[in-house]
Amino acid sequence: YPKVIILNNILIHQNNEITKVIHAASYLIQYLPLYLPNYNPIELTFNLLKV
């Protein structure tokens, strides 16, 4: 199985040096979508309160 690292889409994670280090360690990079409310617990709480 491939080794995968999952990162946020913040600028520090998209830095070319960081990317080179991760790839040199034989990891694949997978970025999370820009906005993912389904995985944000506070969003779920707010949705329950709105009901």
Query: Which pTM value belongs to this model?
Result: 0.59
Work out the average pLDDT over 8-17.
86
pLDDT band at 26 (very low <50, low <70, confident <90, very high): very high
What sign does the dihedral 30-32-33-39 (CA atoms) show? positive
Q: Which domain holds residue 34?
A: 3-50
- pLDDT value at residue 40: 74
Asked if pLDDT for residue 35 goes beyond 90, the answer is: no
* Phi, psi angles (nearest 5°) of residue 42: -65, -30
> Would you say 13 and 34 are in contact if contact means Cβ atoms under 8 Å apart?
no
What are the angstrom distances between the C-alpha of 30 and each of 8, 11, 22, 27, 39? 9, 14, 11, 10, 16
Tokens at 10, concatenated: 């913040």
| More confidently predicted of 33 and 26 | 26
User: What's the number of domains the chain is made of?
Assistant: 1
Residue 29 has pLDDT above 90, yes or no: yes
Q: Average per-residue pLDDT in the chain?
A: 86
